[in-house]
Amino acid sequence: MVNYPLLLKEIEKEIQPLFSKGKVANYIPALSKVDPKQFSMTIQLFDGTSYGVGNQNKAFSIQSISKVFTFTLALKHYGKELYQRVNHEPSGNPFNSLVQLEYENGIPRNPFINAGAIVTTDSLTSIHKDSTFEHILNFIKKTSNDESIVYDNEIFHSEMANGYRNMALINMIKSFNNIHNPIDDVIKTYFKQCSIMMNTQQLAQSMLFLANHGINPLTNEVIITESQAKRINSLMLTCGHYDASGDFAYKVGLPGKSGVGGGIVAVVPQKMAICVYSPQLNSQGNSLIGTKALELFTTKTGLSIF
Ligand code: GLN
């Protein structure tokens, strides 16, 4: 049996030298205000026990981690049909890249790069119209067993005012008829979902269904089918860290998803879910210390999928 409290203390100590190495995201001005020297991590087990280190109550902007929730909702509703609009291949390009999209006719490589997540959010907008964001937020509240989760209006507006690349992406996709709703509605929902605030405890709980064949082990609620859970985990492994997905799989060996807010979630199948937060990013936009902490976790415990 792993001594998790001791393990987390060891990890916290070993990541300290990395605190000067990364950079907080600043292309969304409101994100640049966070204290760069933060680190927290939560390990959430199926029986409700959790272990943590750092300030696990500190909420941060989940950013691209929201793409896991929207993809889950879209896959649940559309099934395989969704892949006609968004592929399931790694992109090998930055999360906000435009180039591939043009020569691949507006079909994004996967739902975890911005282009793919925007299409996914559009697919949900076709179902839920004006209440799409509320639907996404309610789903997140359900999977994390926490009704108190909100979004940050300042971060939302900051991204709205500076989201030139995302506007370019959505316009490009629309030109290929792969956006079915008004672009303003879809992009607003996308920016709002990115500005949802959660802490490592809430995020670790919210990922448990992916570690447990689609069933939330704390409530026994079936969230998605076992086969769909497998697909989502596979995509997290191959695409969850954009052009650093290979590096993350190589170092950590777990399905994971990062966000430019500094969070990373990771799934240990049939065992637990983990969330780590540290806002300094590497050059691919993933938490530098978060990646290291997860690498240390799987190296020290042997708990990877390989
Ligand atoms: N809201 C961010 C964006 O669209 C999300 C990017 C990310 O977390 N990688 O640019």
The set of catalytic residues is 64, 67, 190, 242, 260
The whole-number pLDDT of residue 1 equals 83
Segments of the chain scoring below 70 in pLDDT: none
Nearest ligand 1 atom to alpha carbon 285: 9
Element (H, E) at 108: none
The whole-number pLDDT of residue 250 equals 98
The whole-number pLDDT of residue 76 equals 98
61-102: pLDDT as tens digits: 999 999 999 999 999 999 999 999 999 999 999 999 999 999
Instruction: Please tell me if the CB atom of residue 166 comes closer than 6 angstroms to any atom of ligand 1.
Output: yes
CATH class for the domain made up of 4-301: alpha beta
95 CA to centre of ligand 1 in angstroms: 7
Whose Cα sits closest to atom 3 in ligand 1? 114
β pairing state of 256-258 and 60-61? unpaired
- Residue 275 DSSP SS3: strand
- Residue 100's identity, in one-letter code, is Q
Whether the CB-CB separation of 186 and 170 falls below 8 Å is answered with yes
| Domain boundaries of the chain, sorted by first residue | 4-301
CA 257 to CA 65: how far, in whole Å? 6
Whether the CB-CB separation of 60 and 277 falls below 8 Å is answered with yes
pTM score: 0.98
Pull the structure tokens for residue 192: 């709002």
Say how many residues make up the chain: 306
Query: Which residues, at least 6 apart from 54, have a Cβ–Cβ distance to it below 8 Å?
Result: 12, 38, 39, 40, 41, 200, 277
117 CA to centre of ligand 1 in angstroms: 10
- Residue 76's identity, in one-letter code, is K
Nearest ligand 1 atom to alpha carbon 191: 1
The whole-number pLDDT of residue 197 equals 98
